[in-house]
Chain A
Amino acid sequence: MAMQVELRVFATLRKYLPDHPLDRGVVVTVEPGTTVGQLITKAGVPLEKVKIVMVNNRHADLDQQLVDGDRVAVFPPVAGG
């Protein structure tokens, strides 16, 4: 049973998903057992450019398995203050 997750990419990673609207995520259909890393790769974002991933507002590892309805946010190295 395929599941749907919501993917958002930010900052310099936006160029890999140029059609991704800034104010909402893109919905991606994935198979059960898909990991965060596999989702990012499938979306065309090079993993070596990724520094931080958050799933449902918590830091996540690339090997975390996704659950239906997850909100995934992907960031390159960023900072400010």
Chain B
Amino acid sequence: MSKILRVNMTTQKVNIEEVPEKYLALGGRGLTSQIILDEVPADCHPLGPNNKLVIAPGLLSGTSAPSSGRLSVGGKSPLTGTIKEANAGGITSQKLANLGIKAIIVEGKPSKGTYVLRVTADNVELIPADDLAGKGTYELTAVLRERYNKKAGVICIGPAGEMRMLSAGVANNDSEGNSSRYAGRGGLGAVMGSKGLKAIVVESDKTFDAPVQDKERFKAAAKKFADILLKHPVTGEGLPSYGTNVLMNIINEAGTLPTRNFRTGRFDRAAEVSGEKLAEVAVARGGKATHTCHPGCVIRCSNVYPLPDGTVCAPVEYETAWSFGPNLEISDLDVIAKLNYICNDVGLDTIETGCTLGVLMEAGVLPFGDGQAAIKALEEVGKGTPLGRIIGAGAAVAGKVYGVTRVPVVKGQGIPAYDPRACKGNGVTYATSTMGADHTAGYAVTANILKVGGFVEPTKEDGQIELSRNLQVATAAIDATGLCLFVAFAVLDNPEGLPTIVEMLNAQYGTDLTVDDVVALGQQILKNEREFNTKAGFTKADDRLPEFFYNEELAPHNTKFELKDELDEVYNF
């Protein structure tokens, strides 16, 4: 029977609850956002006792559905003040699903102390762990796997989360124990830290045995879905060969690669930090150009990048390579991987941190292009010095502290690796997403740049609202299933894709869902999230890009972002 674990950090008591009828058909982001809307007062302080951290595996997680191991983490974001869902790969989602755990709700706040929650098939226990306070995530994960179970999934925070920094993320690990799979965005690590919860250790020997009602029917649908992914050139060949950083060159060639804190759309040294170069260096040093973040993923977009000093960063993703690369005018992959590793260890979101360093460079605190200065500054975070705390507080705070006007954030969250002036569909998503600036919330790069799911001219306004709306709805639904969002590249191009996802869900849960129901699910998730944000005080005035995107032209296309009132049409459904 599936269950909900309710962990009260005020009393240090854990209750095991039945799943209410209303939540049975929900999972992942669908469930985290529903629980937050139902249980968290929208006007609460994100770091106070009334906020909750909600962790949920996706609906298909823990089955043999390919690439279905996404873990959703939700709460009220201290970075944005909005509702937040951040999801991650790694091995923990599958383990939770195999333990029959539909969600973990962490609530309240202890007067003091550091705790670890240990979850096994027979027991759930909150264990005092003051000895683990202050540990980086890599060491912490290794210690906990050694102490409890060598194959455990460890959901954890680093010192940044313990210090309640606004851009602290929640990590979990891959099969090798790397604590690099982050529900990174929006500061949920600070929420976990505010509750004194350092880690959740999840132990399950099973990976693919979550209950399925009609096993034969499910098996056939899962096999068909794997074929759809493997036969699509992006998910079957492109991503497995070079990972997500294969985007570096094409986004640069499209003139929409934010460079020097969003000054220009091209970086003349982009190739040096691209996926092609990364694969070459990684393989030459005994790393891997392709790697899975969780068992059963057929896309295998991860990589293993060994640094010259012997540490390993796995993976280096496109967004991170951009945030520490072109965004800072740094063209040394080793510097990028080092910054990435520090973020993973101290527990910060790499996108937000790159945006913040960009703002500090804009302010003249650090020189653009100076990788060693960036590393030195980032090392301040773990020490909790004033500069370290400013970096950990994100781009919006850093901009205010230093009086910078060019601060690339929406609702307080840093804008990722596609400039909204030359990839306008993504600009619509950044402005209107319930999450603050989030590229995954409605990834219009597909039709704007990659010619997946059609083509919409990226530098023009026509069609961008509709494109972003449709993608935001579809993404919310995908985020509920536990499927990696990257399945969308194949699903958007194959008319059998979405029906096959629906077939897997129906076979697993004995439901009679249709494709229309899945669209309705996506719409409902967005409506729930909007409702929370409205209650928290957000209005359409918050659904806009920063002023400079409307006033400054971006080379080489020399375009500005022109959409304003039209953005209010995104939620017309």
Contacts and interface: CB of A to CB of B under 8 A. Distances in A.
Interface of A: 8, 10-12, 14, 22-24, 51-52, 54, 56-57, 59, 73, 75-81
A51 B232 CA distance: 12
Contact of B450 (A22, A52, A57): A52
Contacts of B485: 81
Given A11-B275, A78-B250, A52 B451 contact: yes
The secondary-structure label for the interface of chain B is helix
Nearest to A80: B244
Contacts of B305: none
B226 interface: no
B318 A22 contact: no
B329 interface: no
Contacts of A12: 237-238, 241
The 4 closest A-B pairs by CB, nearest first: A80-B244, A57-B255, A77-B233, A73-B253
Interface string B241-284: 11111110110011100000000011001011011110010000
B528 to A, nearest CB: 24
30 contacts: A8-B253, A10-B246, A11-B276, A12-B237, A14-B276, A22-B271, A22-B276, A22-B277, A51-B233, A52-B450, A57-B255, A57-B556, A73-B253, A75-B249, A75-B253, A76-B233, A76-B237, A76-B238, A77-B232, A77-B450, A78-B234, A78-B247, A78-B450, A79-B450, A79-B489, A80-B243, A80-B244, A80-B245, A81-B247, A81-B445
A79 B277 contact: no
Contacts of A78: 234, 238, 242, 246-247, 250, 450
Given A23-B272, A52-B450, A81 B234 contact: no
Contacts of B185: none
B253 A77 contact: no
Given A8-B253, A22-B277, A79 B446 contact: yes
A59 B246 CA distance: 18
- Chain B interface size, as a band, is 35 or more
B250 A57 contact: no
B231 to A, nearest CB: 12
B319 to A, nearest CB: 7
Contacts of A80: 239, 243-247, 275, 301, 317-318, 486
B194 interface: no
A52 B250 contact: yes
B457 to A, nearest CB: 8
B249 A10 contact: yes
Contacts of B317: 80
B440 interface: yes
B45 interface: no
Nearest to A21: B271
Interface in B203-259: 232-235, 237-239, 241-247, 249-250, 253-255
A62 B234 CA distance: 21
Contact of B455 (A24, A56, A59): A59
A79 B269 CA distance: 20
A75 B274 CA distance: 14
Interface centre among B247, B250, B265 (most CB of A within 10 A): B250
A77 B238 contact: yes
Nearest to A72: B253
A64 B271 CA distance: 26
B452 interface: yes
Contacts of A76: 233, 237-238
Contacts of A52: 250, 449-451
Nearest to A55: B253
B532 interface: no
Nearest to B416: A81
A81 B439 contact: yes
A77 B237 contact: yes
B443 interface: yes
B564 interface: no
Contacts of B244: 80-81
Interface centre among A52, A73, A76, A81 (most CB of B within 10 A): A81
A57 B557 contact: yes
Contacts of A56: 556
A75 B319 CA distance: 19
A17 to B, nearest CB: 12
Interface string B308-326: 0000000001110000000
A79 B253 CA distance: 14
A35 B234 CA distance: 26
A11 B253 contact: no
B245 A57 contact: no
A35 B246 CA distance: 26
B416 to A, nearest CB: 9
A81 B440 contact: yes
B234 A11 contact: no
B241 A11 contact: yes
A54 B486 CA distance: 24
A80 B246 CA distance: 7
A79 B486 contact: yes
Given A78-B238, A81-B318, A57 B254 contact: yes
A81 B489 CA distance: 11
B400 to A, nearest CB: 29
A77 B234 contact: yes
Nearest to A51: B451
B519 to A, nearest CB: 21
Given A14-B276, A81-B247, 18 more contacts: A11-B242, A22-B276, A51-B233, A57-B255, A57-B557, A59-B455, A59-B457, A76-B237, A77-B238, A79-B238, A79-B445, A79-B446, A79-B452, A79-B489, A80-B244, A80-B245, A81-B244, A81-B319
